Amino acid sequence: MSYNDGLNIMTTGLSWPSLQPGGLNTYFKSVCEQLSSRNQVHALICSQETPATPKELIIHNAGDPKETIWKRKDAFQRKAADLMGDGSGRIDILYTHFAPYGIGPAIEAKKRGIPVVMTFHGPWNEEMKIEGQGIRHKVKTTIAKSIEHKAYKLADKFIVLSEYFRGMLHDLHGVPLHKIIVIPGAANVERFVPSTNRLAIRRTLNLPEGATTVLTVRRLMNRMGLL
């Protein structure tokens, strides 16, 4: 399929990795870039800066990260409504990441009969619980769960990275299993290639030659389970 035969796809995400490093943003950027190789992609992110992208991938600054999450949520809905217009093929499909920024655009998409696909990256409110405590924090996690639950009711299909997340989405939010598609994460095997001389790598990094060595690249947060 050539670019001219492609779809007009709207995506919503947190941010861009060059603006805010993180696994979700890296994944979101990669997906948007791949989709834009065959389609027109409008990516809504929460940023006041606009990263450089190919002409088929248009970045829209849909929210200000300095604002509250509720104002950002509403800003994403307004931007999506503006781009969708009256429907009529301006946007063919909505593909969202991160529930707070997906719920508003999904509401607008459903008004216009636009299919909604969501990627479930993990239980936002359950992860929040691990990182704090107290009454105010409990209120925040309760509201977060409500947002997630409402957002997921709007999706026609879901994408998850693993069978574990498929089960979690089903158990926590009651999403029917037939709506959830597992598409595992991947790596660019042309860029990330194991070294042919592993011993030389160990010596370069001053690692013991006979020991098992484990590397994890994660944020130092409780919910990552590093301890």
Across 187-202, average pLDDT: 89
Written as six digits, the tokens of 63 are: 């929210």
The pLDDT, as a whole number, for residue 3 is 46
**Owning domain of residue 165:** 3-190
| pLDDT exceeds 50 at position 202 | yes
The pLDDT, as a whole number, for residue 4 is 53
Helix axis angle for 135-152 and 99-111, nearest 10°, is 30
DSSP 51-87: ----TTEEEEEEE-TTS-HHHHHHHHHHHHHHHHTT-
pTM of the complete model: 0.85
In a domain, 87, yes or no: yes
- What is the count of structural domains for the chain? 1
In a domain, 227, yes or no: no
Residue 225: which region, alpha, beta or left (left: phi > 0; alpha: psi -120 to 50)? left
The larger pLDDT score, comparing residue 90 to residue 226, is at 90
Cβ proximity of 57 and 51 under 8 Å: no
| pLDDT exceeds 90 at position 82 | yes
Cβ proximity of 84 and 108 under 8 Å: yes
In a domain, 224, yes or no: no
In a domain, 211, yes or no: no
CATH number (domain holding residue 21): 3.40.50.2000
139-151 pLDDT tens trace: 888 888 888 999 9
Across 67-85, average pLDDT: 94
Please report, rounded to a whole number, the percentage of residues in the chain having pLDDT higher than 90: 63
Cβ proximity of 116 and 81 under 8 Å: no
1-55 pLDDT tens trace: 344 568 999 999 999 999 998 889 999 999 999 999 999 999 999 999 999 998 9
Q: What mean pLDDT value characterizes the chain?
A: 90
In a domain, 210, yes or no: no
In a domain, 133, yes or no: yes
In a domain, 225, yes or no: no
Nearest-angstrom CA–CA distance, 218 and 7: 35
In a domain, 201, yes or no: no
131-185 pLDDT tens trace: 778 888 788 888 888 889 999 999 999 999 999 999 999 999 999 999 999 999 8
